[in-house]
Structure 1
């Protein structure tokens, strides 16, 4: 499959106000692409937009869980950008808590953000992407879409679902001008776990301790992760492991699909402990 030439074409990036989304936007803009920045955080989007090289970039403050807002966003993007070439979905959040601590409302909220927000924007922009001679969709999944740890049920559910959506969509679009890929990051220093949510039943101090322990396991800088994401998008790759840990977990889950947790349990012990009082 021939790599994309992003110069002058538009990349739509969700979750672009911070973290990997912001880093991806900067790198694509530096390659000559126009970027459409999408996020709920207006101030963050403005700061990222001000840091971009090149011209023709746009900012869109949107909640991707709002169906009407996403429909309107698609119209705005198509009007502002005649060449929508790539969609990169970096928007997402996290949720700490065991099944006994979580409510259905809390789990549904995370599924709305991580899964349905991804599906929503993808479906809305697919007709425009199909008009390009060559286009690509990149979905950010997670290493927890390969192996599901204890203490992360809603997050793992959402990322396994994003994985399934990406693979099924890739098969549906086989032979078309639009290719689909998924990225499986592990341990990127984005702050997602520190700024994410936790079950209301958890003591905030205990939740912070677990989040800090998880954050200590992250080693990859957002800019380094963004280089991998942009390269995978330009090369239209179907499946990309981001980070050494992701490759190890992928191998472990393939070799021992029912016993991988025995190897993951010890290093994650403190990160999944949301019950021991402080």
Structure 2
């Protein structure tokens, strides 16, 4: 399988206003790729675009402010991108959020919201851009899954559901497109210091201080720099890899689940104990 030559071709990146999405954009721009940046935060998106244009004047950068839960808006955005960028080669879906809480604490609305963001937003932009990607001599789609698409921890039901579904979508789509010029892969990061857990949502039934403590405990386990993760994502895209593992923990968990698919939680429960505790009151609070 031929590696992609990204210079002079267009990469579409969702969730690109911050975190790994922004670093993926910077990495690809440094390689000479043109960019179509998607995010719902237009102000941050314009700031990143200005930074990239200044650093790489030869790179064409367009910005597209859209909520990926709005299918009609996504379709319009895809049309705008194709009009501005005739050579769309890659789609990298970094948009997503997190959700803390047990099933007893979560509402159906909260869980549906996360599925809409993490899963259906990914499906919608992929479907909208697939015709343009099919027209490329070689193209690749990279979906952001998670280490929690390999193993499902307590206290993260909607997040794990959404990421397992992204994994399934990626694998099924890869099989559908195996006779075409488009390849598909998923990324399984663990412990990237993006702030997603600190800025994500939590069940409204949880005391905010308790939620903050649990989120901080999870964030303390993150060690990979976002720029390093972005390099792995870009390399996986260029090499058109089906699976890209990021972080030592992702490889350990993948091995653990393969070895003991029923009982892997016994090994994970201890390290995650504080991060999944959304019920114990804070000291001094009744």
Query: Per-residue CA shift, 1:107-137, capped at 9, x if unaligned?
Result: 0000000000000000000000000000000
TM-aligned CA deviation for residue 55 of structure 1 = 2.5
Q: Output aligned runs, 1:1-278, within 5 Å.
A: 1-52=1-52, 53=56, 54-278=58-282
Query: Per-residue CA shift, 1:207-253, capped at 9, x if unaligned?
Result: 00000000000000000000000000000000111111000000001
Query: Per-residue CA shift, 1:6-26, capped at 9, x if unaligned?
Result: 011000000000000000000
Query: Per-residue CA shift, 1:34-92, capped at 9, x if unaligned?
Result: 01110001111012112212421100000000011001001100100000000000000
User: Distance in 1 between the 2:177 and 2:154 partners?
Assistant: 34
User: Distance in 1 between the 2:211 and 2:43 partners?
Assistant: 27
Gaps of 5+ in 1: none
Where 1:128 maps in the other structure, the secondary structure is: helix
Q: CA RMSD in A?
A: 0.5
TM-aligned CA deviation for residue 274 of structure 1 = 0.2
User: Distance in 2 between the 1:22 and 1:36 partners?
Assistant: 12
In the alignment of these two chains, the number of paired residues is 278
User: Distance in 2 between the 1:220 and 1:234 partners?
Assistant: 21
Gaps of 5+ in 2: none
User: Distance in 1 between the 2:234 and 2:75 partners?
Assistant: 26
Question: How high is the TM-score relative to the length of structure 1?
Answer: 0.99
Where 2:209 maps in the other structure, the secondary structure is: helix
